[in-house]
Amino acid sequence: MKILALIPTPPQSRDLTDALVRSLAHWAPSIVPLVLPTRGVRATEHGQALDDAKPLVAGSDLVVLLDNDTLVLSPLWEALMTEAFHDPSVEAWGLAWEGRLHPLCLAVRTPIFTAMSTWQAHPSGWDTGVQAIQRLGRTVTAPFVLAPRGKGEPATWLTQHSGEPVFTHLGGGSGERTTEATRAHFIASWPPVLA
């Protein structure tokens, strides 16, 4: 199965993207990352990068949308994702964020990804890809649980049974309000992953 990861990247947070690419190389080496430069951090710019990437995904089986302020922390992330797609009726697999699938980590069959009219944010202010996600057919939510966290701490998903960390999201990490020191601390929090 050929899998491409699309990573929209604003200019001020290339450090986060580099860390994500290293985590993919370590824990999911069969996934090919495609870094998509954006002009800024707004959802419209993120969505435009995804729309513009449609011609780049030809020949792949799955497209994984990843926020650039995320890290893969375990091989279970890729294993459980690809396992879900053994069922041909599954169109998408991803993490639940605020009660719904979200493109911070969303795998979509390539024909479904390219057939969506847009991955743009909704004009009313909804986040990137929400309109597209609502049009998906059968979806599977990743079998992970969100770990308890304090205010300002990254969101980290764990396996339901062993509690092993599998994925983390700084949240707002590529935003202009997030300082370089905050980003550096997030990256430094996972040295075994990024060594």
Cα separation, 138 vs 153, in Å, equals: 32
Separation in Å, CA 70 to CA 19, 27, 88, 111: 9, 13, 28, 25
Over residues 70-116, the pLDDT tens digits come to: 999 999 999 999 999 999 999 999 987 777 788 889 999 999 999 98
On whether the CB atoms of residues 142 and 81 are closer than 8 A, the answer is yes
The C-alpha atoms of residue 108 and residue 90 are separated, in whole angstroms, by: 9
Query: Where do the domains of the chain lie, and which CATH numbers do they carry?
Result: 3-194 (3.90.550.10)
pTM higher than 0.85, yes or no? yes
Question: How many CB atoms neighbour CB 195 within 10 A?
Answer: 7
Q: Which of 116, 127, 106, 100 is nearest to 45 (CA)?
A: 127
> Low-confidence residues of the chain, pLDDT below 70?
41, 122-129, 172-180, 190-195
Give the orientation angle of helix 75-84 with respect to helix 14-27, to 10 degrees: 70
